[in-house]
Amino acid sequence: MRLRDRFGISERTQVRVTRLMEIALVGLLFVGIYELSPGIVVNCAVGLLVVQLPAIVQRDYGVPMDPALTLWITSAAFLHALGTVGLPGMEDSFYRTLPVWDDVTHALSASVIAAVAYATVRALDEHSEAIHLPRQVTFAYVLAFTMAFGVAWEVLEYAITLGTGLVGLDTVLTQYSVEDTLGDLVWNTVGGLLVALWGHLYLTNVVGALGARLRTRDHEA
C-alpha cells in the first residue's frame, strides 16, 4: 500500500500542497533579492526550475507524473531552498541552526536522483531483449548510482565553496566540515536505499511510459 493511501491524502490535496510550495518558492526568491543574497537567489531559482520538470516531462515526453510524484520532487526542491533562508525572526538559516534539516533534504534529494536511475534502468530492461537485470542487480545499480552522484555533488560543493572564497564572494553552496560531508553521504545512501527497495511501488507507470517511448523511437528509426 502506498503511503498516500495509508494516510488518506487525496490527489486534490497533493496538488494544492504542491502549488503552495511553488508559490512559497517565488516568495523565498524575492527574500533573497531583497537581502541581496546570491546563495538564496540561486538556490531558489534552481528550485523553481526543478519544480517545472514534472510538467515538462509529461507534456513533451508523455511520461505520466501523478500528483504524488510531482509532490515528491517539489518537496525536495522547496525544503532545500527553505533551508537556505529559514523563517522571519531567525538569526540564521535552517541549515545552520537545525542539523537534521540537512539530513532530511539530502535523503529526499537523493531519493529523487535514485528514482531517475531506477526508472531509466528498468525501462531499458523491459525494452530490450538483450538486457536482463535481476532485481539484485537493479538494487545495486540504483544504490551505487546514487552514492556516486552524491560524491560528485560534494566535490562540486567543495569546489564552489573554495572558488568563491578565493575571490571574496558569498558562496551559493556551503561545505561545513568533513563530518558534515560524511553525514551527507550517509543520508544520500539512505535516500537511494529507500528507492532501491520500494521504487517499484511508485514508479511502475513511469517505467512503462519510458519503455513505450523507447519502442516508439525504435519503430520510427
The predicted-structure confidence for 121-154, as pLDDT tens digits, reads as follows: 988 888 777 778 888 899 999 999 999 999 998 8
Give the pLDDT confidence score for residue 30 in this predicted structure.
94
Residues in the chain: 221
Point out the least confidently predicted range of 12-16, 32-36, 143-147, 162-166: 162-166
Give the pLDDT confidence score for residue 1 in this predicted structure.
47
Annotate 86-103 with b (16+ C-beta within 10 A) or e (fewer).
beeeeeebbbbeeeebbe
* Position 65 confidence tier, pLDDT thresholds 50, 70, 90: confident
Q: How far is CA 46 from CA 9, 58, 77, in A?
A: 28, 20, 8
The answer to whether 125 touches 131, Cβ cutoff 8 Å, is yes
Tens-place pLDDT, residues 86-114? 776 677 788 888 889 989 999 999 999 99
Give the pLDDT confidence score for residue 192 in this predicted structure.
94
pLDDT higher than 60, residue 3: no
The answer to whether 170 touches 35, Cβ cutoff 8 Å, is no
End-to-end CA distance of the chain: 40
Give the pLDDT confidence score for residue 172 in this predicted structure.
60
Q: What is the pTM of this model?
A: 0.85
Residue whose C-alpha is closest to residue 54's, from 43, 45, 62, 44: 62
pLDDT higher than 70, residue 36: yes
Other beta carbons less than 10 A from residue 27's beta carbon: 10
Give the pLDDT confidence score for residue 20 in this predicted structure.
96
Percent of the chain with pLDDT over 70: 87
Q: Is 6 exposed, middle or buried (0-12, 13-18, 19+ CB in 10 A)?
A: exposed
Question: Residue with C-alpha cell 537567489?
Answer: 41
The answer to whether 29 touches 21, Cβ cutoff 8 Å, is no
Other beta carbons less than 10 A from residue 61's beta carbon: 11
Tens-place pLDDT, residues 158-195? 887 777 666 665 666 666 677 878 888 999 999 999 99
